[in-house]
Amino acid sequence: MDKLNDKSLLKQHSYINGQWLNKGKVDNAEFSVVNPATNEVLIKVSNAGVADAELAVKAAKGALKGWSSKSANERAVLLRNWFNLMMQHQDDLGRILTLEQGKPLAEAKGEIAYGASFIEWFAEEGKRVYGDTIPAPSSDKRIIVIKQPVGVVASITPWNFPNAMIARKAAAALAAGCTFVGRPATQTPLSALAMAELAERAGIPAGVFNIVIGEDAKGIGKVLTQHPDVAKFTFTGSTAVGKTLIAQCATSVKKVSMELGGNAPFIVFNDADIDAAVEGAVLSKYRNAGQTCVCTNRILVQQGIAREFTEKFTAAVAKLVTGNGLTDGVFIGPMISSSAVDNVNKLVQDSINAGAKLELGGAKAQVVDGVTNNFYQPTILSQVTNDMPIAANEIFGPVSPIISFETEQDAINMANDTEYGLAAYFYARDIGVIWRVAEGLEYGMVGINEGLISNAAAPFGGVKQSGSGREGSKYGLDDYLETKYLCMGGL
């Protein structure tokens, strides 16, 4: 933290109603934020609890009228200030993110730019919240449709994208005229608090953007999902927790958006450009040490090219450097915790015992600039079958299981044989194959000859048990708007 240019980006307290809450209401307790590369305590932060979450909802409710009655242009000016400040402080925000989350610095700075791009996008998109006029069934009536902000939005976000998951939600909410209460993951509160500091500097009024940091996920989660003043709840995280939170939201019929788990297939057909597929697979699998919900989870390769692809892919992955994310040249940082490493290792060992062949890695990584228990070697398994645990579960680590298939229909069937439906990728050149597979995949997002697909202009989201709602794009505001029908009669 010594190297930050602007040390006041480092905050230790929840940000509620424009104030830094000096102590959590839970008997002044603190919790530690730890660098996953070294296990060093970076800083202690105050531990907010249920009462603080209630305070934040109250603040957001109090600020709603003022914020929602601003014009979209006025909101856009403030959001653009926020975007500019995030980009001006990209280096510091990236460093904070790497320190608390582990991803390599270049990737962390990329996340800051990605997160900020949603703020820029929605600042503009907020100006285009159009209504409708509809021809009425009788001549003495007029039908008009207007869009209005849903109200107070609450969110819970995970540790894998400490900035961007909040930015994607808050940007759309604020642009639509909603106010926002976010609870970031306890592993990564610092990026969220730095965003709050910059929101304040941008001129976003007190109560519009609130961040509650606290270890009592369940207690705070109950407030955010059940408080009568919260109109909408948005979550990114695991499918299991998402289901619990949807159930909690049901008690007061809140609108919900869910970005849940994935099991992304990456399919390579015989006619694919193999070098391009290798490059796409490396990026889509190994960024963030494999800890993203759209990371490739299974590589399905058509038999004719299975050996060639596996050899080229293994050679490319073997070059990836594992280590502390602050060290130059590192591509794979630590995983979030040693227990995450143990879970991934268990999946790998179970698959080997079930008949998979280890092509690369398969153990904890020894690194000179971090603690071994938190790093896992980039790993490749071949001769995997779709029913092995490594293919059926979300791996969330730097491991690629390779499964070979014969026909196009086999590939589609295997790809769809999961409860998840977030992202899928495939590489092919034949236009017929491309259309049939693109339409046949039961996924919300499909990368065709592309391994990195997410950006602010495109709708991000899943089908099946990967969730509901879309973030980014012209569709992303819909989740934060109500449609109101005005019937004008007696004309």
Q: Which residues bind ligand ADP (CB under 6 A)?
A: 156-159, 185-186, 217-218, 221, 237-238, 241, 244
Q: Which residue is nearest to ligand ADP (CB)?
A: 221
Q: Looking at 100, 120, 200, 259, which residue is catalytic? A: 259
For ligand ADP, the closer of residues 104 and 221 by Cβ is: 221
As measured in angstroms, the least distance from the Cβ of 291 to ligand ADP is 8
For ligand ADP, the closer of residues 102 and 177 by Cβ is: 102
As measured in angstroms, the least distance from the Cβ of 325 to ligand ADP is 18
For ligand ADP, the closer of residues 35 and 160 by Cβ is: 160
DSSP 203-222: TPPTTTEEE---S-HHHHHH
E strands, 361-437, in order:
379-382, 399-405, 423-427
For ligand ADP, the closer of residues 194 and 384 by Cβ is: 194
Integer CA distances (angstroms), 62 to 20, 58, 171, 201, 220, in order: 17, 6, 19, 20, 19
Helix (H/G/I), strand (E/B), else coil: 164: helix
CB-based contacts of 381, cutoff 8 Å, min separation 6: 348, 351, 352, 356, 357, 358, 359, 362, 390, 399, 400, 401, 402
Check if the beta carbon of residue 341 is closer than 8 Å to that of residue 375: yes
Q: How far apart are CA 214 and CA 31, in angstroms?
A: 8
As measured in angstroms, the least distance from the Cβ of 216 to ligand ADP is 9
As measured in angstroms, the least distance from the Cβ of 344 to ligand ADP is 12
As measured in angstroms, the least distance from the Cβ of 224 to ligand ADP is 8
Q: How far apart are CA 425 and CA 448, in angstroms?
A: 6
Check if the beta carbon of residue 398 is closer than 8 Å to that of residue 285: yes
Q: How far apart are CA 352 and CA 346, in angstroms?
A: 10
259 tagged catalytic:
yes
- What is the token pair recorded at 474? 């012209």
For ligand ADP, the closer of residues 197 and 259 by Cβ is: 259
For ligand ADP, the closer of residues 187 and 302 by Cβ is: 187
Q: How far apart are CA 140 and CA 210, in angstroms?
A: 47
92 alpha carbon, distance to own chain's centre: 21
As measured in angstroms, the least distance from the Cβ of 182 to ligand ADP is 10
Please provide the size of the chain in residues. 491
Catalytic residues: 259
